[in-house]
Homo-oligomer: A and B are copies of this chain.
Amino acid sequence: MIEDRYRVQSVGRALDILEKIAVAGKGGARLTDLAQEVGITKAAAYGTLLTLKARGIVTDVGEGLGKRYRLGLALVRLGDLALSGTGIADVAMPVLRQLTQTTGITSRVAIWDEDAAVVVGRADAPDAIRLDSALGRRERPHCSAVGKIFLAAMPRSEALELLERIGTPTRTPKTLSTLPALDAALDTVVAKHYAIDDEEDHEGVICIAAGVFGHNGATVGAISVTTLKQLLPNAAVPALAQTLIDHANRISLALGGLPAQTGWRARA
């Protein structure tokens, strides 16, 4: 068990500061604001920022008054290394780009990590409305297409237990928030080999996802397409889903894995 007493406080505070800088975005964050938001003294935050700056984790822009702190380029390297450790991001990217090029729809890859589907790759459609497709985004399992893929792939009892543990908050009127409803939805995923998020997380936004399978049949990832509901007629969904499955299979193949047909068999 992880006891709080073993954790080092200063490092936790440093990460708090880093998070605040991250959400501050391109404008950057000011020292006084950071200290207040994190709940420590200016001096403490200052020392921490000095340390982070010396390693390139943060950068400061401006001089003297109104100086702003932004995320540093050292994080670029660490993030890239973390990505390459996933084993699927690099392989999936070319396939994703082709998928987006042929369909004109933004596509993404996600892997499972700590009770969430984490986006580790994306191919943005050039002319599409820029939806929030930030890398590293953690998608809720119960109201995201990629999340449902992972849920459907695990033993059902385990999936329901997980959902009960982390909760199924209502995000929109169409969010499936009850366990029986989600149980049935997962049955559909297993039967059809793809998952849908039909305005269950964001109003007006629809997602379709398909699974990527490794050499032992394990679900190592999921790819998805995301677009506005009004741009995708219901009748067009099956065809798009099949295209998605085909591309997912190409990734599985490149990883030395199994196609979807085989991958889902065990769960049916």
Task: Decide if the interface of chain A is mainly helix, strand, loop or mixed.
Answer: helix
Choose one: B15, B74, B120; the contact of A76 (CB below 8 Å): B120
Complex contacts, A80 vs chain B, CB 8 Å: 79, 134-136
Contact indicator B81/A134 (Cβ below 8 Å): yes
Contact indicator B83/A11 (Cβ below 8 Å): no
Contact indicator A136/B82 (Cβ below 8 Å): no
Q: How close is A109's CB to chain B, nearest CB, in angstroms?
A: 12
Closest to A71 in B: B82
> A77 and B134 in contact (CB under 8 A), knowing A8-B10, A70-B85, A72-B82?
yes
Does A52 reach chain B (CB closer than 8 Å)? yes
Q: Known pairs A76-B82, A97-B97; list 9 more (Cβ under 8 Å).
A: A11-B11, A12-B55, A70-B82, A72-B82, A73-B82, A73-B120, A76-B83, A80-B135, A81-B134
25 contacts between A and B (CB under 8 A): A6-B46, A6-B47, A7-B47, A8-B48, A12-B51, A12-B54, A15-B52, A26-B84, A59-B113, A70-B82, A70-B85, A71-B78, A71-B82, A73-B113, A73-B118, A73-B136, A74-B136, A76-B83, A76-B135, A77-B79, A77-B134, A77-B135, A78-B79, A80-B134, A80-B136
